[in-house]
Amino acid sequence: MVVPELDTLVRPDDCRRTPPGECAVITTGLTKRFGRRVAVDRLDLAIPAGSITGFVGPNGAGKTTTIRMLLGLMRPTSGSGFVLGHPLKEYRTYLARVGALIEGPTFHPTLSGRDNLLVLARLAGLHHRVDPVLDRVGLLRRAKDPVRTYSLGMCQRLGIAAALLPDPELLVLDEPTNGLDPHGIAEIRRMLQSFADEGRTVLVSSHLLAEIEQVCGHLVVIEDGRLVFQGSVAQLLAARAPELVVRTECAEETLRLARIIEGVGRTARVLREGDAVTLEVGADCSWAGALNRLAMTAGITVVHLAQRDSTLEEAFFAIMGSDPRPGRGTAGDTGTGTGGGGGSGTC
């Protein structure tokens, strides 16, 4: 299978053009309704073969529902797709080459780790794979113990071992880092990288971008069942323009400057952290001189002026259309709160 060059943002039209075979997963207009609620809304995915693709979205975005449709567990309401070159309807054919951990690991608590895997292995004639995959995730020594004695991290690893049973071309891991400490998350990331190094395609979901972003070459971001972004991490960063960060001698003047900047048609976001007020101006450093002149004309002294490139997290929230971090307005909004009171700074 060929890894497609996804130089540009993959738009729905591109998805339809991508021939099956170049991507491990392609969907077109994939939709799932539960009664009146639309859980997945006309999703067009294109997951490059051989990539580690992060599948990111807040709780309830529709990640698990999408994954269940790809695995033949749920019937799409409408839309179509291909997995490993086979149409979604032929899931019985392609699932032999797919390993999955869906919505966290689930096992029989009184059975040992090995027996839990054996239940699955016997279904597909894969007995010989049980010990190798246990070894692979570092559980061989605890394989005889009942799963109810396992820690959460061990359960996640057993779930990954189960997914590895068929030596899969496509690994679908739904929230494998859920509930893990930073050390455990780093360990999962290392595993993901090693799976990709073996030539597998990895589709890994998380509601926290930061947990998986380091290893993902490709990202799919969904919200409310809809595709918000699809492309490489570099493209995600590029999706948000750089900003000028401006501070003046006091809060009052900063707010006044914000109004002046908006008066000339630029965006200026006000960020308050305690008494300090900072502006984020929608411009790059080429506009810094003009900004400085505007301030001087108004008798405002700028004490800090610098360009800042957005972090991945900011780019992510910009795309999601909301920024839950404290002290932040709605990202991408134009000039919020410039007229609002509350500035307590005194000159």
Partner 1 sequence: MLILRAFSSEWVKLRRRRLWFGAYGAIAGVVVLTTVVTIAGAASSAGHHPAGTLTLATLSRATGLSRGLTQSGVLLGAVALSIAAAQFGGEFSHGTLRNLLVRAPRRASLIVGNGLAVLSFLVGAVIVAAIVDIGAAVAMAQVRDVATGAWTTGSAMASLGQIVGDMALSVCGYAVVGMVLGVVLRSSVIAIGAGLALLLPIESIISSAVPSTARWLPGQLLDSLAQGGSAQASFGAALVTTSIYLAGIVVLALVAFTRRDVTT
Residues lying near partner 1 in the complex (CB under 8 A) are found at 68, 71-75, 91-92, 95, 98-100, 102-103, 106-111, 115, 118-125, 162, 165-166
CB of 179 to ligand ATP, least distance (A): 12
- 343 binds ligand ATP per the rule CB under 6 A: no
Return the number of the residue (179 or 340) whose C-beta is nearest Mg ion: 179
d(CA 90, CA 75): 12
Q: What string of DSSP letters covers 295-343?
A: HHHTT--EEEEEEEPPPHHHHHHHHHT---STT---TT-SSTTSS----
63 binds ligand ATP (CB under 6 A): yes
> Which of the choices ligand ATP, Mg ion, partner 1, none does residue 36 contact, using the CB cut-off of 5 to 8 A by kind?
none
Q: Is 207 in the site for ligand ATP (CB under 6 A)?
A: yes
- Residue 328 found at the interface with ligand ATP (CB under 6 A): no
| Dist CA 217 CA 220 (whole Å) | 10
* Phi-psi sector, 33: left (phi>0), alpha (psi -120 to 50), beta: beta
* Positions in 37-56 near ligand ATP (CB under 6 A): 37, 39
| Integer Cα distance of 320 and 317 in angstroms | 5
Which of the choices partner 1, ligand ATP, Mg ion, none does residue 166 contact, using the CB cut-off of 5 to 8 A by kind? partner 1
Q: Which stretch binds ligand ATP (CB under 6 A): 34-42, 116-124, 156-164, 314-322?
A: 34-42
Contacts of residue 331, defined as CB under 8 A and 6 or more positions apart, other chains included, come to 269, 314, 317, 318, 321, 322, 323
Among 48, 50, 54, 62, binds ligand ATP (CB under 6 A): 62
Which of 205, 235 has the CB closer to Mg ion? 205
Q: Which of 144, 136, 134, 139 is nearest to 154 (CA)?
A: 139
Residue 30: CB minimum distance to partner 1, A: 14
Question: Least distance from C-beta 211 to Mg ion, angstroms?
Answer: 14
Question: How many C-beta atoms lie closer than 10 Å to residue 299's C-beta?
Answer: 8
C-alpha to C-alpha distance for 195 and 168, rounded to whole angstroms: 10
CA atoms in the 13 A half-sphere facing the CB of 207: 13
- Name, in order, each residue with C-beta under 8 angstroms of 76's C-beta and a sequence gap of 6 or more: 30, 31, 32, 40, 69, 88
Q: Which residue's Cβ has the minimum distance to Mg ion?
A: 64
Q: Please report how close the Cβ of residue 80 comes to partner 1 at its closest, in angstroms.
A: 17
If binding is defined by CB under 6 A, does position 86 make contact with ligand ATP?
A: no
Which residue lies nearer to partner 1 by CB, 25 or 98? 98
Q: Which two tokens stand for residue 67?
A: 């994954």
* Contacting residue, 5, 13, 36, 59, with ligand ATP by CB under 6 A: 59
CA-atom Rg of the chain in angstroms: 24
Return residues touching Mg ion (CB under 5 A): 64
Q: How far is the CB of 40 from ligand ATP (least distance, A)?
A: 7
Cα–Cα distance for residue pair 280/277, rounded to 1 Å: 10
Across the strands, what pairs with 26?
46, 82
Do the beta carbons of residue 102 and residue 68 sit within 8 Å?
A: yes
Closest separation in Å from C-beta 83 to partner 1:
12
We find the least distance from the C-beta atom of residue 226 to partner 1, in angstroms, to be 21
- Whichever of 61 and 172 has its CB closer to ligand ATP, that residue is 61
- Does the protein bind ligand ATP through residue 61 (CB under 6 A)? yes
Least distance between partner 1 and beta carbon 33 (Å): 11
199 binds, among partner 1, Mg ion, ligand ATP, none (CB under 5 to 8 A by kind): none
Q: Of the candidates 30, 32, 65, 56, which has an alpha carbon nearest to the alpha carbon of residue 45?
A: 30
Q: Which residues bind ligand ATP (CB under 6 A)?
A: 34, 37, 39, 57, 59-65, 207
